[in-house]
A and B are shown apart, each in its own frame.
Chain A
Amino acid sequence: MIVCVAVVGHQNNPLYIQSFTEADDALKLHHIVHCSLDVVDERVNNPKKSGPTLNETFLGLLYPTENYKVQYVFFSYGYLTNTKVKFILVTTDLDVRDADVRNFFRRFHAAYVDAVSNPFHVPGKKITSRTFAERVSTIVKSFGLSSAT
């Protein structure tokens, strides 16, 4: 289950953070997204290390983090666009298929591109588009459904 998705700008500024849990744990999720940036940063700053995956946007598992309501572990996955915008996905599922995550990020990326293509959007500003939020929640809801069938 996806608990949080985030878009982080190239200056590591949050552009969009949305949690999908009932509990009031926004702060915790903020922390997880914030901490995940360490790893993203490392990959951004050392591009030569990821030589074979030069054009790979998918960063994979970033950060298995502390328990969430005791029984869950957070896993954050990252995705880096060529404009150094990062997508972070926080999930509690232990066994997610890479393909699912990749697919999710691809759709998320498309939604983001559409949102920032809005001529009224100021680059670097937080994304406040309602359409984007609705689209993201649709993508989140459909996450993992293909694997279930």
Chain B
Amino acid sequence: MEPDVSIETSSMIRIAVLPIGSVPPSLLRDYHSMLLRHHTIPLSAISSFYTEHQKSPFAHQPWESGSLRFKFVLGGAPPSPWEDFQSNRKILAVIGICHCPSSPDLDSVIEQFNVACKGYNSALVKRCFAFSPSDSHLEEGGKKGENFILFPPADRQTQEFHLQTMMQDIAASLLMEFEKWVLQAESAGTILKTPLDSQASLSSEEVIKAKKRRLARAQKTIGDYCLLAGSPVDANAHYSTALELARLTADYFWYAGALEGSVCALLVDRMGQKDAVLEEEVKYRYNSVILHYRKSFIQDNAQRVSPLSFELEATLKLARFLCRRELAKDVVELLTSAADGAKSLIDASDRLILYVEIARLFGTLGYQRKAAFFSRQVAQLYLQQENRSAAICAMQVLAMTTKAYRVQSRASITKHSLSNEIGLGHSDGGKMHHQSVVSVFESQWSTLQMVVLREILLSAVRAGDPLAAWSAAARLLRSYYPLITPAGQNGLASALTNSSERLPSGTRCADPALPFVRLYSFPLHPSQMDIVKRTPGREDWWAGSAPSGPFIYTPFSKGEPNDTSKQELIWVVGEPVQVLVELANPCGFNLRVDSIYLSAHSGNFDAFPISVDLPPNSSKVITLSGIPTVAGLVTIPGCTVHCFGVITEHLFRDVDNLLLGAAQGLVLSDPFRCCGSAKLKNVSVPNISVVPPLPVLVSHVVGGDGAIILYEGEIRDVWLSLANAGTVPVEQAHISLSGKNQDSVISIAYETLKSALPLKPGAEVTIPVTLKAWRLGSVDPETAAGKNASGSTGRHLRDGSSPSLLIHYAGPVTNSGDQSDVPPGRRLVVPLQVCVLQGLSFVKGRLLSMEIPAHVGQNLPAPAPVKTNSHKGSIDYENKMDKLMKIDPFRGSWGLRFLELELSNPTDVVFEISVSVKLETSSTEDSQDAAEYGYPKTRIDRDYSARVLIPLEHFKLPILDGSFFIKDLQSDRSTTGRNSSFSEKNTKAELNASIKNLISRIKVRWQSGRNSSGELNIKDAIQAALQTSVMDVLLPDPLTFGFRLVRNYSEQATKVKSTVLAHEMTPMEVLVRNNTKEMIKMSLSITCRDVAGENCTEGTKATVLWSGALNEITMEVPPLQESKHCFSLYFLIPGEYTLVAAAVIDDANNILRARAKTDSPDEPIFCRGPPFHTESLRNFTRQVKIPFLS
């Protein structure tokens, strides 16, 4: 059998092309390709070389349209035993090719050529072409004979023209030889034999039948020659005769041969035009051909020789002729029967050729799987031959099948599509590639695929191609490890190692082996080096690009489930970056990865290799790092791995696809899952851009980076040192606050930072930050209830409650003019690690009121400073005393109010409390000039509690205004006077505001140790304390009483104030003031008591005599007016006495009852004034001032 046969093969003249002398293989191929262009010589072109010696036997030669066809057999071929049967199998011409520079001796060349020609008896024309001769060759070459042709050195075009001429000459010579042969054969006849014809059968034949048979064979052969000579009509005529005779003599073999020839003649005559009728005709005739070849099968010599190969060849010829999609069914049938016949073929090489042809035809038909199947059969036949070249062939044939079985090496996928894929892989990260999807699906034919790969491995090992072996073993191991036993895995691993030993070091292979590498994560920049896009031309350039919007969820991102694909990463030139990848070794052997590093195709990334050991069935997350070198884009499609002695690239995308397939149950196994690694979200490679160097600020807190421990309310300065660790100066910087408890940062020395700009590389600046510790949380429910009063309450201790400083900084703006490509800035987050300890705790606050009785003097005590000027000659306002107390103008007593705060110290340090009040001087003087008044420090030991008294007398409380209070009390009534315009609400607000104002002026500072100091935040406590008791303490009684001496001699009175002499009638008067808006009727009574509290005016031992009424004095006091009642006392014994006025109010209204806190209407309302002191002195003694405070 011969490869590459078709119906037209019968019309081709076979020419052996032999290298003569030594010809370099590349040149030989070159010359051969030059020859190949002349495979068809038109008859019209050779007429000039043709001379008709005798009358041509080819009567119907188509000189205009016909042509001769050549088939060049490089290296020649041994004579076939069947060349009598099919003349096209004969080598009819020999062309020697000689390369003069490598074989200069022309004589020996000619000799060699002649020797070579001896092997080709059938050759009718012999020529030797010598290329590139030297001048000396040309000189002597002329006389070497006409068969030796020198091609003068010239350009290729000229040479080709020469060659064409020579080929036309050869064609003409062949044609003349054919004529000669045919004429000779017609006249003399020849004995034509095939291996089928045994001697025995010939001798037993009848003579006539033998003669006829011989004639038929001669006619068939002449027909063959006519066909070779390009004259199909002549050929057909001879074939017809031959067919007739062969049919008569039952020479089926030759009949079939003639029929084959006639079909070829038909096709040549039609000049390649095909139509349905012709196709039908060819099909019909060829079926007959096949049938007759089958008929010629003789059982006797079946062991030795069989016409089966001709039958199969005919089948293939017909199949090739019909090979079209539309006729696929016919072709498949033909090919199937051809494959069926393969088993009966004796010669293994025949079977090989048959399978090759079947595979090729199936491939042409588009039946890739069947083509692959037969290719595999071919490879198996090659492998049976057990030699190296056959193994190479097997390997190459198998490599062709890999596409159909979807196990092809990555190297066989064209570079272009591969690079395209890599490019695409990043632009549409999340999407699956269609091709990869298919391959995932197709990988399920694992039974077949493993067999193919194993055969490739076997053939590659046998062929001595270590790289192919490595690649096959790698594919086998990577794709089918779950189906391979641990022993088999070990075998593959050693195959990989053995192959790599025969490879030069640094060999790259397109097919990755182990381990599986997937992207674990792209760590973002640490918060210290965060990169922020700069909005050019804005003061707050970082604002527009803040990644955190007000919404956690934005509807715009909804359409992108794989949001990470949009993620952009910025790397900085010269700053090392890290990428986490996970490696998995699902096999049963220890895997040593010699080196693994990130592979960047963009060429601007220096990756640092590391080596890893992976135990059996394990996975490991490793950090791969590198440094971007040039600004631009970086793509990281995968890792470069040096493992098993070969360098491979492992793409993340492949593993992602694999894992996706595994997740859907489409691939055998998830390599990471079976190594016990957790399921990981699909991490996609972000778009990475590299920017030129940026400044790097490094911060540390001076005095240690540990937590700053503060007590509640403590104020402390912290020094923050910022250093530029980059190579670019910092030109812009801005500090802002973030996180919780931002108001605990009282001040940042922003100016210090500003003045230090630009901060050169290596430079350092220290900025002070003042902190005030926040409260740990509300202590008692009372303060929590007061939340609405002030918003600063209700803080609770939480994790991460410390504030952070955000420092946005940036390098210089390049003046490229283009505003769009400003280098980005950076953000440094400095978390202030503040640890707040519980400090002094507030227990409770109260407002205390204290009264010191006043002396009965000539005048009433002066009221609040507002009224100081209204009474001329009133009691001199004593400044010393003024600091601590205040006279109630109507009650006649010294009122003293304190705010008492109870504080406890649960800590283990000592606190010192100092209270200071910011003085706001009274409204008559310059009110803006605030001064502070400090009180002595109070010390609170640990685990003790203490009370701190804060006197409140310096506040101008509008509530002392009596009318204000009346209004406040009786607000439901219509009011008169200047306050009438105030609404109730306003009044309340005014009250609150005044309390607030008061509170804000009280500062309670503490100090502990040498450097801890702070302020207690007890505003709420004070407010609560004031609000609950303010009414009781500050509200005036409905009736107030006052006592006064009545003296007529005023000259003495100015000097002697409020002194009473014993044994002297002392006229006095009691003043009763109505603080309400109603007329009050009452009955007043006055009592006088001595030091022991005994009533001095009643009983038997009365020591005070009196004139005027002291009891049951009925009085009516108009609203907001005073009434007087005069009486006189006569003290018998000098000493201290106390005068008290009391009244029972008649017909009390509701307001009075409410004030008196009684409910029942029957109960009498009793009002009692404060006690007034008086002292009766002996007449002879000087009066002595009694100090108020002891």
Contact = CB atoms under 8 A, between A and B. Distances in A.
Interaction A to B: yes
Interface of A: 9, 11-14, 26-27, 30-31, 34-35, 37-39, 42, 46, 63-67, 73, 122, 124-126
A30 B437 CA distance: 22
B339 interface: yes
B441 A11 contact: yes
Contacts of A67: 340, 343
By Cβ-Cβ distance, the 8 closest A-B pairs, closest first, are A11-B441, A38-B367, A125-B665, A13-B441, A13-B444, A122-B665, A35-B370, A38-B369
Interface string B1155-1190: 000000000000000000000000000000000000
A3 to B, nearest CB: 16
Interface stretch (B236-244, B445-453, B742-750, B935-943): B445-453
Given A11-B442, A12-B441, A67-B340, A38 B448 contact: no
Given A9-B441, A11-B441, A65 B336 contact: yes
10 contacts: A12-B442, A14-B445, A27-B451, A38-B362, A39-B367, A46-B325, A65-B336, A67-B340, A67-B343, A125-B665
Main secondary structure of the interface of B (DSSP, over half): helix
A124 B665 contact: yes
Interface in B230-285: none
A13 B442 contact: yes
A110 to B, nearest CB: 24
B666 interface: yes
Contacts of A124: 441, 664-666
Interface string B403-446: 00000000000000000000000000000000001100110110
Contacts of A37: 369
A64 B664 CA distance: 35
A125 B340 contact: no
A14 B328 CA distance: 25
B683 interface: no
Contacts of A126: 444, 665
B328 A35 contact: no
Contact of B328 (A11, A26, A42): A42
A64 B370 CA distance: 12
Nearest to A124: B666
B666 A125 contact: yes
B286 interface: no
A124 B660 CA distance: 13
B378 to A, nearest CB: 14
Given A13-B441, A67-B343, A124-B666, A35 B447 contact: no
Given A38-B369, A124-B665, A11 B340 contact: no
A12 B404 CA distance: 12
Nearest to B328: A42
Given A11-B437, A42-B366, A30 B666 contact: no
B497 interface: no
Most buried by A among B343, B362, B666: B666
A125 B664 CA distance: 7
Contacts of B447: 26-27, 30
Contact of B448 (A34, A63, A64): A34
B373 interface: yes
Contacts, number: 67
A20 to B, nearest CB: 17
A37 B366 CA distance: 12
Given A11-B441, A34-B445, A122-B665, 12 more contacts: A13-B444, A26-B447, A27-B451, A35-B370, A38-B362, A38-B370, A42-B325, A42-B328, A64-B333, A66-B339, A66-B340, A67-B343
Interface string B188-219: 00000000000000000000000000000000
Interface in B304-339: 325, 328, 332-333, 336, 339
A31 B437 contact: no
B369 A34 contact: yes
A125 B661 CA distance: 10
Interface string B1088-1121: 0000000000000000000000000000000000
Contacts of B1128: none
B368 to A, nearest CB: 7
Given A13-B442, A122-B664, A63 B332 contact: yes
A85 B366 CA distance: 21
A14 B444 contact: yes
Of B328, B339, B370, the most chain A CB neighbours within 10 A belong to B370
A39 B441 CA distance: 19
A10 B965 CA distance: 94
Contacts of B448: 27, 30-31, 34
Interface string B642-667: 00000000000000000000001110
B113 to A, nearest CB: 48
Interface string B354-387: 0000000010001111100100000000000000
B9 to A, nearest CB: 27
A8 B358 CA distance: 26
Nearest to B326: A49
Most chain B beta-carbon neighbours within 10 Å: one of A12, A35, A73, A124: A35
B336 A13 contact: no
A25 to B, nearest CB: 12
A38 B368 contact: yes
A134 B333 CA distance: 35
Contacts of B437: 11
B503 to A, nearest CB: 32
Residue of A12, A38, A67 contacting most chain B CB atoms (<10 Å) = A38
Contact of B445 (A30, A46, A63, A66): A30
Contacts of A125: 664-666
A125 B668 CA distance: 10
Contacts of B444: 13-14, 126
Contacts of B666: 13, 124-125
Nearest to B438: A11
Contacts of B665: 122, 124-126
B369 A64 contact: no
Interface in B543-598: none
Contacts of B340: 66-67, 73
Contacts of A12: 441-442
A7 B879 CA distance: 112
Contact of A35 (B333, B366, B373, B438): B373
Contacts of B370: 35, 38
Contacts of A34: 369, 373, 445, 448
B369 A35 contact: yes
Contacts of B442: 11-13
B373 A64 contact: no
A75 to B, nearest CB: 11
A26 B448 CA distance: 10
Contacts of A46: 325
Contacts of A73: 340
Contacts of A14: 444-445
A64 B445 CA distance: 21
Contacts of A38: 362, 366-370
B322 to A, nearest CB: 16
Interface in B663-705: 664-666
Contacts of B336: 63-65
Nearest to B439: A11
Contacts of A31: 373, 448
Nearest to A11: B441
A84 B451 CA distance: 27
B321 to A, nearest CB: 20
A9 B444 CA distance: 11
A46 B329 CA distance: 14
B535 to A, nearest CB: 49
Contacts of B373: 31, 34-35
A65 B339 CA distance: 9
Interface string B895-925: 0000000000000000000000000000000
